[in-house]
């Protein structure tokens, strides 16, 4: 239960008796995005998943803006495996030509991690600066996202080597945002802080067993908690207050398609809401498991029981 309360604190959950009708009347005057505008989301596979997943962070951002009466059109521009060079090469076609009012640029993971896509720090800085300059010249307002995290296990040498290397890249993004007067959503700081707090409660891995994943499905791509954290970071950068975030999260909680569990090779799985996912996450945390680990164990047990029953029926 400690872990569930910690996750609630990290994400700012405050599920009270306040009615949804009251929440949706939150004024939007202090929010940078205006009604009827278009927002492009340029990035790698994390960005691509943020739109293709019905409860990915891009869709949560649009839903959150809607709770404040803001009808905003998303322009998804994520590309699997993309680094800063790839994004720069297609920013005109995929973003500028579509004339958005805003663009949120998320970059850095692939620049650091994969040998075939790696981009050294100085070219990365040049690519990021060129993207911002091109967008601002075209009259597009820019939000920069720091790159998220590699893995959730502080004892994994490869992940921690990448996280250490990522520091300089993210520092350059923060500096660029300040120099070019861009909004900044510091995803890395949010996620590193969340993981540090979780480890304080759960402890780190022991032996060869890694800790259960709380924010990602695979160490890189977001699970429902990670998607909500990213969406909250973007909305905060746009100017959402705590009460506006609370209204958005209440809406997200009952979206019916936060995750599909137990699909495996068995066909269509069970589609659950964010609220249901969080309930499962709390139960999994008590067992020091991820939701997927707990569900897979339950499926395996059910199959074993069915097989035993089938043998008995013969």
- The SS3 call for residue 237 is helix
More confident call, 117 vs 278: 278
pLDDT of residue 14: 32
CATH fold group of domain 2-13+33-255 = Rossmann fold (3.40.50)
pLDDT of residue 52: 94
pLDDT-derived band of residue 3, with 50, 70 and 90 as boundaries?
A: very low
pLDDT-derived band of residue 146, with 50, 70 and 90 as boundaries?
A: very high
Percent of the chain clearing pLDDT 90 (strictly above): 61
Q: End-to-end CA distance of the chain, in Å?
A: 44
User: Is there a contact between 235 and 61 (Cβ–Cβ < 8 Å)?
Assistant: yes
Q: pLDDT digit string (tens) for 280-299?
A: 888 988 888 888 888 878 87
pLDDT of residue 5: 45
User: Is there a contact between 25 and 18 (Cβ–Cβ < 8 Å)?
Assistant: no
- Residue 211 DSSP symbol: P
C-alpha span between 100 and 73 (Å, rounded)? 9
C-alpha span between 258 and 253 (Å, rounded)? 9
pLDDT-derived band of residue 177, with 50, 70 and 90 as boundaries?
A: very high
Beta bridge partners of 265: none
Tokens 């995005």 identify what position? 33
Q: pLDDT digit string (tens) for 228-256?
A: 999 999 999 999 999 999 999 999 999 88
Q: What is the mean pLDDT of residues 213-219?
A: 90
pLDDT of residue 10: 45
C-alpha span between 251 and 253 (Å, rounded)? 6
User: Is there a contact between 150 and 159 (Cβ–Cβ < 8 Å)?
Assistant: yes
Triad 210, 215, 218: Cα angle to 5°? 60
pLDDT-derived band of residue 265, with 50, 70 and 90 as boundaries?
A: very low
Residue-averaged pLDDT of the chain: 85
pLDDT at 278 over 90: no
C-alpha span between 291 and 279 (Å, rounded)? 10
Reference 84, options 48, 55, 112, 46; nearest CA is 112
pLDDT of residue 263: 52
Beta bridge partners of 76: 41
- Domain residues of the chain, as ranges? 2-13+33-255
Reference 124, options 107, 139, 137; nearest CA is 107
More confident call, 150 vs 11: 150
Least confident of 1-5, 54-58, 116-120, 197-201: 1-5
Q: pLDDT digit string (tens) for 23-65?
A: 334 567 799 999 999 999 999 999 999 999 999 999 999 999 9
CB atoms within 10 A of CB 268: 8
């Amino acid at each position: 239960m400690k872990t569930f309360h910690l996750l609630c604190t990290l994400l700012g959950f405050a599920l009270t008796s306040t009615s949804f009708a009251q929440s949706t009347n939150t004024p939007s005057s202090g929010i940078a995005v205006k009604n009827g505008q278009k927002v492009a989301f340029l990035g790698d596979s994390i960005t691509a998943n943020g739109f293709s997943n019905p409860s990915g962070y891009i869709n949560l951002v649009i839903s959150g803006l809607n709770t404040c009466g803001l009808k905003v059109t998303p322009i998804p521009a994520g590309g699997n495996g993309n680094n800063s060079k790839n994004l720069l090469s297609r920013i005109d076609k995929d973003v500028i030509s579509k004339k958005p009012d805003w663009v949120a640029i998320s970059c850095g993971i692939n620049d650091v991690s994969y040998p075939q896509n790696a981009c050294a720090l100085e070219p990365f800085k040049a690519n990021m600066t060129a993207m911002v300059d091109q967008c601002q010249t075209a009259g597009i307002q820019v939000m920069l996202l720091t790159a998220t995290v590699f893995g959730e296990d502080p004892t994994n040498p490869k992940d921690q080597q990448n996280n250490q290397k990522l520091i300089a890249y993210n520092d350059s993004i923060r500096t660029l945002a300040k120099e070019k007067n861009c909004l900044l959503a510091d995803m890395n700081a949010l996620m590193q802080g969340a993981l540090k707090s979780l480890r304080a409660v759960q402890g780190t891995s022991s032996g060869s067993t890694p800790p259960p994943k709380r924010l990602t499905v695979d160490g890189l791509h977001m699970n429902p908690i990670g998607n909500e954290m990213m969406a909250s970071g973007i909305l905060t950068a746009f100017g959402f207050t705590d009460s506006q975030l609370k209204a958005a999260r209440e809406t997200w909680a009952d979206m019916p398609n936060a995750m599909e569990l137990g699909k495996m090779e068995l066909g269509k799985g069970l589609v659950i809401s964010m609220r249901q996912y969080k309930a499962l996450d709390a139960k999994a945390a008590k067992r020091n498991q991820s939701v997927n680990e707990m569900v897979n164990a339950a499926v395996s047990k059910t199959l074993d029981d069915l097989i035993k029953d089938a043998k008995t029926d013969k």
